[in-house]
Structure 1
Amino acid sequence: MEFELSWIGALCGLALAIILILFKLTPTYSLILGAVVGAFIGEANFTETVTVLITGIQSVMGTVIRIIAAGVFAGVMMKSGAAERIAQFIVDKLGGTKAMLSLALATMIITAVGVFIPVAVLIVAPIALSVGNKMGYSKIALLVALSGGGKAGNIISPNPNTIAAAGGFGLDVNQVMIGGFIPAVFGIIVAVILASSIKFKGTKVTDEEAKELEKDNSNLPTLSRSLVTPIIAIVLLMISPIGAIAGSDFLASLKIDSLFILPFAGVIGTLALGKRKDLLDFCQSGLNRMTPTILIIIGAGAIGGLITASDLPAQVVALIDSAGISGTFLAPIAGILMAAATASTSTGVILATGSFGDAILDTGVSAIAAAVMTHAGATVIDSLPHGTYFHVTRNAFNISMKDRMKVVGYEVIVGLTMTIIATVLYGFIL
């Protein structure tokens, strides 16, 4: 673009978008309206405003098409019962004295293999409540285990938030998944410790609740068939990194994009499950799950176009330099603030990378470090009441608003742990 807008307009537009989201206006409309108003405040005319919007939205189309493709994979895992079978197996094998670890690990793995974190919690919740009833554990502790495990799995999964983090910094999704592994390990450890420390504090699961959640699992696919889809995806996503480690130039150069890998794994997994006739249904279900995120990304592209067209990124970098603060902290802070404003990990990552991606890289941070730190930061305060995750998980465990707010504090500790580890590791060591 041949013109540059005032940073005041960009800041006002971003603030307006966040305020509108907090007042429950659809995020897509909030972001687009904020971009339009911000462009006008920044002294753009009608033609320039349209250019800002179109340019910004065009910049996120690569992420959009990858998320659409990932819908096939997600639909197969969620709709076929494969994710539920994997979760049941993990809890059955560990169970008993390792209940909190098994529940957190089950939710982590289900999220890590491509299931959305709210859906992962819904899948594992009945199992958790049944275990909690037998062991006398509180609902708060059980939700801390599931939510903490889900957060850990979310930063190493091929979910929309990871795809957005990778796309925002021009990386392959497998790079961001691998980069989040060590922070995720620390995250699940802290989640299990926290959940175990409060397992007898708070409202318990009643016999009536446990009985209502009993279900027939005989129709679920076998474990071996359930694992086909995620194993194919993980193996194919890891080909290039393994090739680089092994010194194989051929494998290292064979960079197969998630755009191809995830739907391919979904189709082969469907055949392995013996549900060929259900493939179209799985695809539709997955696309329906992805649609809200896709619409948000379009809105985020618009607001990102506004900020890119302004001198706000340069002003942010100058402010950090003048304050003597390391530019490394801009990435996690952007993730934390944007996720808190939208109460969503994926939306927070999309806004942080789209709005401050260039400013983060201008501080001298590498693309992979920026992606991992921003991604981890978006898990800190992403479960506030103005988002859907808060209410979905509250209903899943049938707990009061007061008890659900108590869980938020523990969720913050888990997310902050992963963010600190990511920042120390990628910001100062690697």
Structure 2
Amino acid sequence: MDVQITTLGALLGLAVAIILIIKKIHPAYSLIIGAVVGGLVGGAGLTGTVDVMMGGAKDIMPAILRIVTSGVLAGVLIQTGAAAKIADQIIKTLGEKRALFALALSTMILTSVGVFVDVAVITVAPIALAIAKKLGYAPMVILLAMIGGGKAGNIISPNPNTISAAENFGVELSSLMAANIIPALVGLTVTVILASMLAKKIKGTKIEEVKQDKENEQLPSFFAAIIGPVVAIVLLALRPIAGIAIDPLIALPVGGIVGCLVMGKAKNLNEYITFGLSKMMPVAILLIGTGTVAGIIKASTLQQTTIGLLDAMNMPAFLLAPISGVLMSAATASTTAGATIASATFAPAIIASGVSPLAGGAMVHAGATVLDHLPHGSFFHATAGATNMSIGDRLKLIPYESLIGLSMTIVSTIMWGIIM
């Protein structure tokens, strides 16, 4: 494909998509419209624009297929109560004295085993609100702990963002999950520090009585709850450990099915996987739109322009990886869309600069957590709703969230851009 789009066209297309998302137009349509505008303004013509968009969407289809099948594990974890059991067990084990750490850790673990970060926050929220009411924490404090833990877990998870980045950089999913373990632990530490500082700064406000989960008495045992994610992660790890390649398309649903059988819920498996699919479909549709924009940016001179700017500022070429992740997450207010566009667009240029695919994927992925919580994304509003928080208070958390994502990005960049 010889179509070339100008940097101005690509940037204008992104701007149009952002404006439409802010105006509450469905993100998938916003991205598609932005792609059309970017291609036309960028000089590709109508036919060329459509061809580039189709190519971008086609490139992302393998990741979408893996994401759809991962809905089996996610559906089982959520619907069986396994996710709630894991969170509840961690919080009970660590106790009230370490409440903020417990909330952050439980959300981190839930996200790292395959639960969407917003769903993980929603799952832990009732427990967190009960703790906040008892200990006098403000909703902002507990939400920051959960969000930070979720961000840390997200960069070591088999979630859509990791699947997309691994696919676009051509690396094993398990390898990319392991690549950011140290940055994730740093993110968890920074989360607890910031949440503790915030707790001292503001005093608890009135929290409404929290309804207890009516299914609480029927939750599975902790062993049964954790077995599904463990099976999935072990299967993914077989390639680097034993040279046996099991694709996430197989490993994640197998983990979900095994977990369901161990919990004695086989008769409900169809219900669970249907629920999981319903959770994955919006992401899959979003990624189709994301693919069209990625195609436009990939066919544009934006990569060369960005590299030229880095050279002009005497900045090392490897910084293209984290910077692209940060910028694309800001544009889409989504870790998944941000990591997908950044990796699909800049992976060739990042690798050509001498950065290994694994290092590039790790830095892009970490960068995508810095500004994925902006108000034009669904995560911002879903997390506010989970803790009954006003938009004004939710906005005040943005700097703290950004610091957590930035801390992980800096550590990942030092590790993979400078040391390794």
TM-score interval w.r.t. the shorter chain? over 0.9
Matches of 1:326 and 1:46, distance apart in 2: 37
Deviation at 1:20, TM superposition (A): 2.1
1:245-264 → structure 2 map (5 Å cutoff): 251-252=242-243, 254-264=244-254
Deviation at 1:147, TM superposition (A): 0.8
List gaps (5 residues or longer) in structure 2. Answer: none
1:356-367 → structure 2 map (5 Å cutoff): 356-367=346-357
Q: SS at the partner of 1:238?
A: helix
| 1:346 paired residue among 336, 340, 348 | 336
TM-score (ref. length: structure 1): 0.93
Matches of 1:45 and 1:205, distance apart in 2: 56
Deviation at 1:328, TM superposition (A): 1.5
| 1:403 paired residue among 382, 393, 399 | 393
What residue number does 2:42 align with? 42
Say if 2:136 and 2:203, in contact at 8 Å, map to a contact too: no
What residue number does 2:219 align with? 220
| 2:296 paired residue among 287, 306, 309 | 306
What residue number does 2:192 align with? 192
Q: SS at the partner of 2:56?
A: helix
TM-score (ref. length: structure 2): 0.95
1:6-405 → structure 2 map (5 Å cutoff): 6-202=6-202, 204=204, 206=206, 209-213=208-212, 215=214, 217-241=216-240, 243=241, 251-252=242-243, 254-405=244-395
Say if 1:22 and 1:341, in contact at 8 Å, map to a contact too: no
Matches of 1:265 and 1:351, distance apart in 2: 28
Letter in 1 for 2:417: G
Q: SS at the partner of 2:217?
A: coil
Say if 2:126 and 2:210, in contact at 8 Å, map to a contact too: no
Deviation at 1:420, TM superposition (A): 0.5
Matches of 1:363 and 1:319, distance apart in 2: 14
Matches of 2:14 and 2:136, distance apart in 1: 47
Change (3 A) 1:12 1:385: closer
Letter in 1 for 2:249: L
Q: Which runs of 4+ in 1 moved over 4 A?
A: 213-216
List gaps (5 residues or longer) in structure 1. Answer: 244-250
Matches of 2:287 and 2:75, distance apart in 1: 20
User: What is the aligned-residue identity percentage?
Assistant: 46
Give deviations 1:209-264, integer Å, cap 9, x for gaps.
245456551011111211110110111111222x2xxxxxxx12x12111110011
Deviation at 1:393, TM superposition (A): 1.5
Change (3 A) 1:146 1:106: same
What residue number does 1:247 align with? none
Letter in 2 for 1:66: R
Equivalenced residues, count: 420
Matches of 1:31 and 1:261, distance apart in 2: 31
Give deviations 1:104-143, integer Å, cap 9, x for gaps.
1111101111001111111111111111222222222111
Change (3 A) 1:406 1:12: closer
Say if 2:363 and 2:413, in contact at 8 Å, map to a contact too: yes
What residue number does 1:414 align with? 404
Say if 2:129 and 2:210, in contact at 8 Å, map to a contact too: no
Matches of 2:369 and 2:6, distance apart in 1: 31
Query: Which deviates more from structure 2 when the two are superposed, residues 185-194 or residues 385-394?
Result: 385-394
